[in-house]
């Protein structure tokens, strides 16, 4: 029997989000219904509401979530009702060219639930990143459920489902940060501070945080930054060179997605270093770089989708590190809110007051 539950809908560009009744079909083959326990508010949800991702309104927002599997459809073997899971937005297919070459974190054919969740009048919803978890329950492909240790706090665990994984992975998987590296992270929101935490986990010996908001820089110190730069007050590129003996950082990470920040990342990097773009640009943005320097500086310019993670490999491992006290996931949870607090949480994010507001159900 389809069920009707509450969910947070973005109906039109820029309009405040609102709670609506949504209809969840029973899981079909390869699908699962998950009772959501917690879902973080990520900047990407706001990008959706602002029409920055696509125009497929109405959206069912929320995609950084954990919960308990309630029911599974035919043929589902990887999870069962009662499992505590983190939802991921890249369920790998296991059979595309990337998967067949052993690079399933790059899977070109990730999938979501085939059936649609709807409003009560039958209007089909577009779930954010194929998840839609600002809701009491949601329908996903079973491969989007990654089982982890149920002792983890749902609010903290859910954050691995998007921003925190993207940040940690940008440093460790995409940037390849290793022992003794210098790393500069631009933008110290949930994603950027996770990149700092990731760089620390990987053994970076010099971590530099850049933001325009001193509150965020203070938080960055707690996650492992050795130096902080307010780029409104100081020249970030010059200061990074100063803090790295005149060289620039081995890895620079743009965790905002702005052309001017990307350029700073490019210039603040040591020769043969790596630039990682994990912040998401909007369609009208363009970058201009001196082409000769792109060649002359060597190294690499990389983009980081979801921190190049493989959920089945990375989520359980990071939850273990969290439970051992080596990764402070709780530090990202600025506040817990109810479903009706999402619109206000967007404003808090815009005012820079939070790393993550987390809806707890």
**CA–CA distance, 97 with 26 (Å, rounded to integer):** 32
Of positions 5, 106, 280, 301, contacts ligand NAD by CB under 6 A? 280
Q: Which is nearer to ligand NAD, 83 or 211 (CB)?
A: 211
| Pairing status of strand 59-60 against strand 126-127 | parallel
Number of residues that bind ligand NAD (CB under 6 A): 33
Residue 306 in the binding site for ligand NAD (CB under 6 A): yes
Closer to ligand NAD by Cβ: residue 148 or 349? 349
Q: Is residue 205 close enough to count as binding Zn ion by CB under 5 A?
A: no
Q: Evaluate whether 76 touches 30 at the Cβ level (below 8 Å).
A: yes
64-72/84-87 β-pairing: antiparallel
**Alpha helices, DSSP H, located in 91-162:** 97-100, 154-158
- Position among 66, 146, 304, 357 found at the interface with ligand NAD (CB under 6 A): 304
Q: In this chain, which of 38, 107, 255, 275 binds ligand NAD, going by CB under 6 A?
A: 255
C-alpha 150/C-alpha 84 separation (Å) is 5
CB of 273 to ligand NAD, least distance (A): 19
> 268 is in the binding site of which of ligand NAD, Zn ion, none (Cβ under 5 to 8 A by kind)?
none
CB of 163 or CB of 341, closer to ligand NAD: 163
Q: Where are the beta strands (DSSP E) in 107-244?
A: 118-119, 126-127, 137-141, 145-147, 182-186, 206-211, 227-230
Residues in contact with Zn ion, shown as a per-residue x/- string from 129 to 168 under the rule CB under 5 A: ---------------------------------xx-----
Q: Is 129 in the site for ligand NAD (CB under 6 A)?
A: no
The answer to whether 302 and 325 are in contact (CB under 8 A) is no
Select from 5-13, 112-120, 185-193, 288-296 the region that touches ligand NAD (CB under 6 A): 185-193
Of residues 106 through 135, those in contact with Zn ion by CB under 5 A are 107, 109
Q: How far is the CB of 130 from Zn ion (least distance, A)?
A: 12
Span near ligand NAD by CB under 6 A; candidates 54-62, 119-127, 187-195, 239-247: 187-195
Binders of Zn ion in range 75-94 (CB under 5 A): 92-93
**Is 186 near ligand NAD (CB under 6 A)?**
yes
Instruction: Report d(CA 305, CA 6) in Å as an integer.
Output: 30
The string over 78-98, giving b where at least 16 C-beta atoms fall within 10 Å of a residue's C-beta and e elsewhere, is bbeeebbbbbbbbbbeeebeb
Cα 27 to Cα 45: distance, rounded to the nearest angstrom: 25
3-state SS class at 27: coil
Cis peptide before 58 (omega within 30 of 0): yes
Interface with ligand NAD in residues 31-90 (CB under 6 A): 42-44, 47
Contacts to ligand NAD by CB under 6 A:
42-44, 47, 162-163, 166, 186-192, 210-213, 216, 231, 255-258, 261, 278-280, 304-306, 349, 352
């Amino acid at each position: 029997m389809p069920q009707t539950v509450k969910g947070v809908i973005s109906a039109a560009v820029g309009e405040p989000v609102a709670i609506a009744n949504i209809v969840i079909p029973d899981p079909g083959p390869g699908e699962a219904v998950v009772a959501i326990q917690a879902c973080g508010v990520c900047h990407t949800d706001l990008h959706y509401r602002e029409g920055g991702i696509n125009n497929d309104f109405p959206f069912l927002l929320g995609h950084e979530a954990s919960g308990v599997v309630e029911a599974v459809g035919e043929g589902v073997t990887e999870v069962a009702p009662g499992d505590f899971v983190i939802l991921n937005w890249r369920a790998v297919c296991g059979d595309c060219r990337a998967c067949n070459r052993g690079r399933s974190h790059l899977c070109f054919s990730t999938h979501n639930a085939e059936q649609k969740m709807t409003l009560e009048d039958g209007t089909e919803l577009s779930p954010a990143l194929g998840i839609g978890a600002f809701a009491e329950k949601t329908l996903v492909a079973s491969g989007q459920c990654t089982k982890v240790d149920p002792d983890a706090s749902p609010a903290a665990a859910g954050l691995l489902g998007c921003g925190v994984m993207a940040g940690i992975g940008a440093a460790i998987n995409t940037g390849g940060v290793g022992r003794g590296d210098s790393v500069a992270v631009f933008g110290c929101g949930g994603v950027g501070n996770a990149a700092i935490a990731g760089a620390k986990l990987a053994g970076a010996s010099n971590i530099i945080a850049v933001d325009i908001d001193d509150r965020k820089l203070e938080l960055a110190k707690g996650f492992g930054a050795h130096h902080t730069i307010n780029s409104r007050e100081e020249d970030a590129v010059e200061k990074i060179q100063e803090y790295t003996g005149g060289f620039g950082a081995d890895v620079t990470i743009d965790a905002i997605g702005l052309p001017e920040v990307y350029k700073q990342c490019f210039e603040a990097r040591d020769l043969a270093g790596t630039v990682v773009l994990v912040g998401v640009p909007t369609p009208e943005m363009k970058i201009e770089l001196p082409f000769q320097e792109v060649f002359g500086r060597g190294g690499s310019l990389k983009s980081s989708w979801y921190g190049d993670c493989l959920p089945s490999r990375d989520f359980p491992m990071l939850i273990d590190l969290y439970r051992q006290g080596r990764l402070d996931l709780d530090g990202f949870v600025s506040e817990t809110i109810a479903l009706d607090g999402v619109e206000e949480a967007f404003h808090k994010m815009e005012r820079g007051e939070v790393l993550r507001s987390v809806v707890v159900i």
